[in-house]
Structures are given as structure tokens and as C-alpha cells.
Amino acid sequence: MMTQAKKAETFRALHQRDRAFILPNPWNPGTARMLAQLGFEALATTSAGYAFSRGVKDGAVGREAMLEHVAEIVAATDLPVSGDLENGYGDAPETAAETIQMAAAHGLVGASIEDASGDDAAPIYQLAHAADRIRAAAEAAHSLPFPFMLCARAENFLHGRPDMKDTIERLQAYQEAGADVLYAPGLTTREEIAAVIRSVDRPVNVLVGMPGLELNLDELSALGVRRLSTGSALARAALGAFVSAAREMADGGTFSFVPGAAQESREVAPLLEAFMAQQRETL
């Protein structure tokens, strides 16, 4: 089993390569183990994916429950795990810093803090306050005895504000505040992504779970992207299949989904069995 410090070193090194890596987002221990068995090098949690699995909207889980969840994901595999910690679960910079310290204590080696306020009337924090929050989170992250990759998120595009100028200004401010990775979820065009990469000197994460983004791993890597995350896309794909099957039963009393599910189960079981065999070998 790797120590947290070793996981942290491994995770930092992934961002220093000259090509992008995929950081998929499981929403429970089982999906984390399957992703590990498929060969991914690191994982990240998804606030929305986990919220959906609990039957609540994104943002409704709360810090304590979310930290318990990320600890389960950390314990599920030996891979480095970064956490989707929303806005840090409070407006104050001190709260964001405290959340990062708590996240590290729960086994994470990285985390994201976003500038979305949770207030429908003013969904994005004012830039100066948002930068103060990232600065406090970065100071907490960099005070740890291992490299903790703090990702700062500019949420304009997810809240109906497709303002590239403001988004870039925010990412630059978060870079100056000490963020290790920069992220503007919702970008979909080559031009938008390239503009962000040219404007900063930190690794850039791109969300590949957004409709409209048609670039693949190699194309994004060639642009200079260093990390691709899936957000809630994997959870939505799984839950979408579940709803489709359930609706067929409820509306028509038919079960045409069963043969496909049987085939998928034949793929899932070997992944989990192989993972458990590896775990036994390390005991």
C-alpha cells in the first residue's frame, strides 16, 4: 500500500508530464475499483455524481458527509485521489482553508475549490474575494508535509456567464494566489481552451463531460491541456441507463434491457474479481 506522501508525489508527477492524463470521477467504492482495474493512474470524486446517488441535487450533501464519501473513495484503491470540494463549504477564506486541511486528513492528495457562491442572486463570488479564498486554501495546502495539488475553478461558464475575459482574469488571479492547477469547466471549443492555456503557466484541467466538446485526449494534449476530468458524466451515463430500464418496466411491462445488462455484468464481475485478487496478494 502506498503512503499518502507517495500518492501525493505520484499525483504531482502526472501533472508534470508532456501529455495529458485522464482523471475519471467515480461516485462510490465499486466504480473506483473498476476504474483502477482498467488502468487509470489517479481518481477524483464528483460532487454531482455522489449527490445524484443519494437522491439530492448537487451542492446539497454538506461537508461532513462529503468528507466521509471521499474517505471511502481513498480507501477503495491504492490510487491518488483528488476531491471535488465545491466552494469549500463556506464563503469565508478561513473555511476554504479548513476544508483543505480536513480533506488532507481524510486521505486526499489534491482538491478543487470553485468560485461559485451557491447564491442564485449572485452565483459567482467577486474576484477579489474569490482570490482571497484560493489564497487561503493554497496556504493550507502548501503547509502540508506532502505536495497537495490545489485546483482553482472558475465557474462562469457553468452559470450562464460565458465571459472569456473574466474567466481568464480569474484564472490568472488564482494562479497568483497559489493554485497548482487551473480549471474552467464548460469550455468546449479549441479556441477557448487554447486561450486559457496561453494565459497561464499552471497545468490546466478540462472537463470532458460537457456536451459540445468534441476534442479527444490526443487533441487536447496537443493543445497543452495536462488533465482531463469527467465530472458527473460517468454517473449520469450509469443513472441514465438505470432510468431507461426502469421506465421500460414501469410504462410497458417489458424487459428488453436484460440481455444487455447480462452482458455488462459479465464485464463488471471480472474487473472486481481481479481487483480483489490483487488486494489479497498484497496482504
Looking at residue 280, its pLDDT comes to: 64
Given this model, what pLDDT does residue 205 score? 98
Q: What is the pLDDT of residue 165?
A: 98
Q: What is the pLDDT along the chain (283 residues), one digit of tens a residue?
A: 899 999 999 999 999 999 999 999 999 999 999 999 999 999 999 999 999 999 999 999 999 999 999 999 999 999 999 999 999 999 999 999 999 999 999 999 999 999 999 999 999 999 999 999 999 999 999 999 999 999 999 999 999 999 999 999 999 999 999 999 999 999 999 999 999 999 999 999 999 988 999 999 999 999 999 999 999 999 999 999 999 999 999 999 999 999 988 677 777 777 777 767 776 665 5
Q: What are phi and psi of 116, to 5 degrees?
A: -80, 130
pTM over 0.85: yes
pLDDT reported for residue 279: 67
Query: Which three-class secondary structure string do you get for the chain?
Result: CCCHHHHHHHHHHHHCCCCCEEECCCCCHHHHHHHHHCCCCCEECCHHHHHHHCCCCCCCCCHHHHHHHHHHHHHHCCCCEEEECCCCCCCCHHHHHHHHHHHHHCCCCEEEEECECCCCCCCECCHHHHHHHHHHHHHHHHCCCCCCEEEEECCHHHHCCCCHHHHHHHHHHHHHHCCCEEECCCCCCHHHHHHHHHHCCCCEEEECCCCCCCCCHHHHHHHCCCEEECCCHHHHHHHHHHHHHHHHHHHHCCCCCHHHHHHHHHHHHHHHHHHHHHHHHHC
pLDDT of the residue at 263? 77
The pLDDT score that the predictor gives to residue 10 is: 98
How far apart are the C-alpha atoms of 126 and 132, rounded to whole Å? 10
- Output the pLDDT for position 71: 98
Between the alpha carbon of residue 157 and those of residues 4, 70, 99, the distances in Å are: 34, 26, 25
Domain annotation for the chain: domains and CATH numbers: 4-231 (3.20.20.60)
